[in-house]
Chain A
Amino acid sequence: MLTRLALTTPRLTRGFAAAAATGGVSKFSLPDLSFAPGALEPFISAQIMEIHHAKHHQTYVNNLNIAIEKLEEAVHKKDAAAVLALNSAINFNYGGHVNHTIFWKNLAPQSQGGGDLQKGALQAALTKQFGSLDSFITNFNGQAAAVQGSGWGWLVYNKTTKSLEIATTSNQDPILGHRVPLLGIDVWEHAYYLQYKNVRPDYLKNIWNVVNWKDVSERYLAASQ
């Protein structure tokens, strides 16, 4: 077998299949950006933001809705093999949708507080876990730069250990289970190529200027309650 075995999670499809059986899966739609596409310049260009949001994210939404429709049909026909065959398409497109939805909220123009981590619970937890914000960023960027191919770098809250962790995922695999995503940084080439070309580390260095720490802090408070 040449292709990497899908490490996708059948439970994701099982969840959707259960919802499909009761007619409970609604159509997904593209969320609006909460700032103008050019508002993250010079760190992320307007062109990148426009294509990333209106084209890439929209395509995940469209293909997710198509996959869910096929799933509903398969569930209706009680065709288990067809349900299972949709697993990778649902994982990829559902992941693409939720990951980008988090990502847009994780970003903010500097005029709206982007890049500014205020003193508080998250700042204290980051310092405790990683020594300082700078060493957290260095550690995060090292791991995100090393993601082979397409994927994401994450700050997650581990509900089991009750601590912050840096994680990476491949392709559009979502963060699931006992880990709650707080901050996701997209390291697919489409996230930076038009501006940074092959130099992913420069993109990673700059993006911290527009991280919406207020949103990350709210996710941390909600997860650690």
Chain B
Amino acid sequence: MLSKSAQAVKNAAHENSSKMTYTLEALPYAQDALAPHISAETLDFHYGKHHAGYVTRLNSLIASSDLKSLSIEEITAKGPTNVPAGIYNSAAQTYNHTFYWKSLAPAATRQAAPSQKLNDLIVKSFGSFDAFKTKFSDVAAGHFGSGWAWLVQDKSSGLLKIVDTHDAVSVVHDTTVKPILVCDVWEHAYYIDYRNLRPKYIESWWSLVNWQFAESNLI
């Protein structure tokens, strides 16, 4: 079953009913809009090569698959063990990146802090905003290898929690949670700007968090 947010982020798949192809969703801001925290050069590769590459690969793999009537979210929601690896990886990476771009906003124009409603939920879930920030940063920095750090909302308790996933794996197949925010900790997300210093990149991620997007994802 698809979560509501997954449907809201009916992202890169602008499906064409006669010829099923997936397209790369436009960035929600200019390529240099996240500088100096994340450079235009990083976005040039991260969006223009990596993200675009996953869409291209998905289109080439899906042609002969009976999954081709599904949206990117629907393929991702099947989970990593129920879809051929190449198709899952391409679809989930497309979904994850689209969600990542939406999790960020230009520092100058974004809402600088979570709304009262979101902040209250953060405090209720983690004790304090600082405790949340520390825990999320630790999970993201401590993730072994490539992957993603997520803020998700537990559908039964309504509380927020932090999870990390490996490589292409998304959270969409977990029907107990709803994704709220994501931080990409693949090295390609930060290597041009920060080299090996993943914690510095995570610090910059905090300067770019799109709190309005986060709030819009709450149940």
Contacts and interface: CB of A to CB of B under 8 A. Distances in A.
Interface of A: 2-4, 51, 55-56, 59, 88, 92, 148-151, 170-172, 188-190, 193-194, 197-198
A92 B144 contact: yes
Contacts of A59: 196
B49 A51 contact: no
A122 B133 CA distance: 53
Contact of A198 (B49, B169, B174): B49
Contact of B196 (A4, A56, A92): A56
Contacts of B85: 148
Nearest to B163: A2
B171 interface: yes
Chain B CB within 10 Å, residue with most, of A51, A56, A197: A197
Contact of B166 (A149, A172, A188, A197): A149
A197 B174 contact: no
Interface of B: 45, 49-50, 53, 85, 89, 144-147, 150, 163-169, 171, 174, 186-188, 191-192, 195-196
B192 A193 contact: yes
Given A2-B169, A59-B196, A92-B144, A194 B53 contact: no
A88 B143 CA distance: 11
Contacts of B146: 149-150, 189
B103 to A, nearest CB: 17
B166 A4 contact: yes
Nearest to B85: A148
Nearest to A8: B144
Chain B contact surface mostly: mixed
B83 to A, nearest CB: 13
A149 B196 contact: no
A63 B119 CA distance: 34
Contacts of B144: 88, 92, 171-172
B145 A172 contact: yes
B49 A3 contact: no
A198 B188 contact: yes
Given A88-B144, A149-B147, A150-B146, A51 B196 contact: yes
Contact of B145 (A150, A193, A198): A150
A3 B164 contact: yes
Given A88-B144, A148-B167, 20 more contacts: A2-B150, A2-B164, A2-B165, A2-B169, A3-B164, A3-B165, A4-B165, A51-B195, A51-B196, A55-B195, A55-B196, A148-B168, A149-B147, A151-B145, A172-B145, A190-B191, A190-B196, A193-B188, A193-B192, A197-B45
B187 A189 contact: yes
A193 B166 CA distance: 20
A2 B187 contact: no
Contacts of A150: 145-146, 167, 187
Contacts of A51: 195-196
15 contacts: A2-B150, A2-B165, A2-B174, A3-B164, A4-B167, A149-B147, A150-B187, A171-B145, A188-B187, A193-B188, A193-B191, A193-B192, A197-B45, A198-B45, A198-B53
Nearest to B168: A148
Contacts of A151: 145
B54 to A, nearest CB: 11
A18 to B, nearest CB: 24
Chain A CB within 10 Å, residue with most, of B45, B89, B167, B192: B167
